Amino acid sequence: MKNNIEIFNLHISNNTEIHSTAIIDQTADISEGVSIGAYVIVGKNVKIGKNTIILAHAIINDYSTIGEDNKIHYGAIIGSESQDLKSINERSYTIIGNRNIIREYVTINRASNAEEKTIIGDDNLLMAYVHIAHDCVIGNKNIFSNSVNLGGHCLFGDENVIGGLSGIHQFVRVGNHSMIGGLTRVTQDIPSYFTIVGNPAKVEGVNIKGLRRNDFTREQINNLREAYNIIYSSNLPLSESLKKLYELDETDEINHLINFLTEKSKRGIIGLNFRNLKEYNVSSKLDC
């Protein structure tokens, strides 16, 4: 059904389709080509980008921004209030990029503090019942299988795959191109390129299948195998492992691993004891 702009006083274009039962705040900014299904609720100051499809019974809460070409399925709730008991009931945001698929009953909480953001990047697939808590930042091309649950302030890079029913502790960081098996309990940071599974989670090796799918060369994979052996099979302190990582051929992948391992962590690195890097003078290579 075509919406009547004079009745609803919305910022929408003529080819936008809004079901007659949808409830949309006057301040919402609805772009060209958007389709909004039955009983959808769109809150105040929401922005919805071109060609996004929102199916029946979804809720887009206040101050949420959704990019272009997304598909939000039945019953998903975007930008709901943080479940952090310390959060202040002030304006905060949920920002979602482009071309994401958000399946049935996904919940994404807005940030817990005033003027801060929960952010989802581009081209992600969030399967049914995924929960993204307050202040999480998710990169691009990640796959979250059914019923994956993230605590607050989690940071995800790009092109990770998380198996169903996995739980990610608050403040955990996950790099790029990792594979987390189903039913995994993740309580510490996961470096890029590795496969993790179990309860408690353990690093099993290099994510070879995922890397091949993403066109990593044999040479790149072999370099990461060597890095894995240094980090997880040498029984060296992390400071000594880092010295050996610097001795490898300098590649984007190795530099990325070094950067991840030396960045500040609230949870520590999976499979490693608490780190003491004070004895090790981190070189300028970390600025790459």
Residue 147 lies in a domain: yes
Concatenated DSSP letters of 148-171: -EE-TT-EE-SS-EE-TT-EE-TT
pLDDT exceeds 50 at position 288: no
**How many structural domains compose the chain?**
2
Catalytic residue among 152, 157, 167, 181: 152
Q: What is the pLDDT of residue 88?
A: 79
User: What confidence category does residue 13 fall into, taking pLDDT thresholds of 50, 70 and 90?
Assistant: low
Confirm whether 69 is a catalytic residue.
no
Residue 105 lies in a domain: yes
pLDDT in tens, 207-254: 999 999 999 999 999 999 999 999 999 989 899 999 999 999 999 999
**Tokens standing for 243?**
């010295």
Query: Is residue 123 domain-shared with residue 24, that is, in the same domain?
Result: yes
Catalytic residue among 62, 122, 135, 189: 135
Q: What is the pLDDT of residue 140?
A: 98
User: What confidence category does residue 199 fall into, taking pLDDT thresholds of 50, 70 and 90?
Assistant: very high
Residue 172 lies in a domain: no
Q: What is the pLDDT of residue 89?
A: 81
Q: What is the pLDDT of residue 137?
A: 98
Residue 192 lies in a domain: no
Query: Is residue 139 domain-shared with residue 236, that is, in the same domain?
Result: no
Confirm whether 57 is a catalytic residue.
no
Name the nearest CA neighbour of 168 among 186, 152, 155.
186
Query: Is residue 16 domain-shared with residue 113, that is, in the same domain?
Result: yes
With contact defined as beta carbons under 8 Å apart, do 125 and 101 qualify? yes
β-bridge partners, 107: 77, 131
Q: What is the pLDDT of residue 223?
A: 96
pLDDT in tens, 41-89: 999 999 999 999 999 999 999 999 999 999 999 999 999 999 999 887 8
User: What confidence category does residue 4 fall into, taking pLDDT thresholds of 50, 70 and 90?
Assistant: very low
Position 83, amino acid: Q
pTM (2 d.p.): 0.90
Cα 48 to Cα 90: distance, rounded to the nearest angstrom: 22
β-bridge partners, 252: none
Of 126, 153, 180, the last residue of a domain is 153
Q: What is the pLDDT of residue 235?
A: 86
Q: What is the pLDDT of residue 59?
A: 98
pLDDT in tens, 103-130: 999 999 999 999 999 999 999 999 999 9
User: What confidence category does residue 14 fall into, taking pLDDT thresholds of 50, 70 and 90?
Assistant: low
Q: Which residue shows structure tokens 């990640």?
A: 142
Q: What is the mean pLDDT of the chain?
A: 91
- Over residues 134-160, the mean pLDDT reads 98
Residue 169 lies in a domain: no
Among residues of the chain, what percentage have pLDDT more than 90?
84
- List Cα–Cα distances, 90 to 42, 85, 115, in angstroms: 19, 13, 8
Residue 190 lies in a domain: no
Pairing of strands 17-18, 131-132: unpaired
Range of the domain at 268: 218-287
Confirm whether 135 is a catalytic residue.
yes
User: What confidence category does residue 272 fall into, taking pLDDT thresholds of 50, 70 and 90?
Assistant: confident
CB atoms within 10 A of CB 218: 9
Query: Is residue 146 domain-shared with residue 57, that is, in the same domain?
Result: yes
DSSP 275: P
Catalytic residue among 57, 73, 131, 134: 134
